[in-house]
Amino acid sequence: MKENTAGSNISIGVFDSGIGGLTVVKKLREKLPYVNIVYLGDTARVPYGTKSEETIIRFATEDTAFLIEKEVDLIVVACNTASSVALTHLRKAFKDYPIFGVVEPGVKMAIHATQSNSIGVIGTIATIKSHSHKKFLEREGITNIFEKACPLFVPLAEEGLSEGEIPELVARHYLEDIKDHIDTLILGCTHYPILIKTIKKVVGEKVKLIDPSSALAAKVSDFLMSKNIQPVEGNGKLDLYLTDIPPHYHSLLNLFLGFEPDTIEKVNLSEISSC
């Protein structure tokens, strides 16, 4: 990346297994309105969280290769599953590109927030199985950690079922046995902030909910400042690429993003050569 570059010339590539990573895009746009963002949602193969480690690494590699084809300057892995399982591989395979994951920023935010050093982590099956958040927390001296896979939260969010009897029953099923043992809970999936009101209702006001998207956006902003990237007035472009266009994608964009992208295009990742 060239230093002393105008912010409007910077392009950030963001990928997720589906639409959920647009919650990260929203925070990036708030923090860095002047940069261009290229977003890839692998909606044809969502969710990643139930896939094998080998498959997740392959999908994440293809996603990254696609974004590099779009000439982005850096990569943001919005997907917690890919950040947990594939980040080390991606940094080796694409060593010329700065690649940011969503796990570490969220962990640091949780450590700053906790008063009792008792932290919960919820995520997909693959994210929880990787123990990526737990490993970071233990390195920082946190040992009272409660992990819980919540796979049904993703389809609930994708269907727009964020509040009401069904999501509340699901949330109670997952969280009832850990909510009294923690004071901080990491939302370890980009879909989960959509369910934040329901999750808060179940765990109670005493538990602080951590959305890593804000911390990740701040980390990317600090990196650009360290490269002397100069902010400019105005908003950059947002180009949205999806591997499948869901019938209700307009309502999903409103739910996860809150504004219209400049372009929306369906793409086939098999046409991109992978590493």
Just list the catalytic residues: 79, 189
Residue 267 has phi, psi (to 5 degrees) of -130, 160
Query: How many other C-beta atoms are found inside a 10 Å radius of the C-beta of residue 12?
Result: 23
Instruction: Give CA–CA dist 119/147, Å, rounded.
Output: 9
> 36 pairs with which residues across the strands?
11
Dihedral angle of Cα 26, 219, 79, 191, to the nearest 10 degrees: -40
The string of DSSP letters for 154-191 reads HHHHHTT--SSHHHHHHHHHHHTTTGGG-SEEEEESTT
User: How many angstroms from the chain centroid is the CA of residue 77?
Assistant: 6
Length of the chain: 275
Instruction: Give CA–CA dist 49/150, Å, rounded.
Output: 10
User: CB–CB of 85/58 below 8 Å?
Assistant: no
CA distances from 260 to 10, 92, 195, 238 (A): 20, 34, 21, 9
Residue 43 has phi, psi (to 5 degrees) of -65, -20
Q: Which two tokens stand for residue 86?
A: 């594939």
User: CB–CB of 217/186 below 8 Å?
Assistant: no
The greatest distance separating any two alpha carbons of the chain, rounded to the nearest whole angstrom, comes to 52
Instruction: Give CA–CA dist 204/113, Å, rounded.
Output: 16
